[in-house]
Structure 1
């Protein structure tokens, strides 16, 4: 079997049991990663993914770590163990995250806290735990999955958008801090993806019906993310139409809100 571009690499993927996380793990294995550390809440789903990869890729070691990224104490214990068990960590893909779409005044405090704990604090904590190791190595790549929603907030996603804007702000600041330490930092900003994400975010299915023509496949997102490993790619934005809309929104927010207000209120 030919050695892929990720041969010899040890890669961590959080939120690895489903959606784009699962497809990124598959793509990393396809590209020849030597060790995949897969993290998610569901141990059963992680074990099934490990078994699937074991049948397809003989040379890839897959290690399972069940963890709720929003539980900071458990996260610290898990990542402390990972730091000591593996001599190098080449890539950390902070993919774990979720959203709940609702009017802000109807959002529960628990939902708000959980989104912040998982999408922001968990992502920061995982990065903080591994950053010293990457600095000692003199290299590494941190990839944070944010969202187009972090650039263009829409009705009923105010809290989710706020968490993803925080991911983007953190990612940009971190990139500036570590650029001279051999550590690369990339943000991934997808629009809506055809995954089970919306079973929680949009249980009635209204949003999916309205944006279905712009939805991207998890496979295409995974391919673009894995292709960026080891490069100086600053951001990955897709699909193009939504990225262009977000750019216009940043330059002309009042105009976009006035002209496209109806389109933005589709949840």
Structure 2
């Protein structure tokens, strides 16, 4: 697999002197689902905003397909944690999914892409409803469908399931794995949930407390097909989850394991 995303010595200091990210370097291969986990407030969201081109880092570079990111790349989509604020309440579900495609596809193409994405996330029957008529989990499915309809080369997810209940979270995690298997979209997911990072990821990137530095790059040697019960009970899952927890608590020394 070829490298799609590269962070080279990324550093970001906010006005006032607060350092959020410091000398962060890693790569993400095409088709990979990589998870970033770290303590609350460590700089995970700052990192994702820099990758998305929403902020210009203080130092270092973000490279997409080998080219420096300057502004938001055309082939990138983001799913945010706060789904209620990312959807337009006055638009139907179908229109919300179609919205980013304006100027990018014809009206007929927009409808087809939106319908296909809604079907993929199990919301075809809700196309003509408005977001406020849906549950929180269904609204987050709409946000995911909107990103998928855009057909991004790189999908960024910023703690996308943190605001839903546990059962819905499991359902959305499995949905994301199914979408990834079907489309092979490269994904970079930020989470503070250790179990989620191990369950979803092809690899787990463990960050230190602020300013964020890379503590470990851990491959996840789990089967591609995963189950919320049997996978989480497996010895491999438990061992890796424990290793990540130790790193975050400062019990283990920083390590780097090649995938």
The structure richer in strand per residue is 2
The structure richer in helix per residue is 1
User: What TM-score do the two structures reach when normalised by structure 1?
Assistant: 0.33
Which structure has more relative contact order (CA 8 Å, sep 6+)? It is: 2
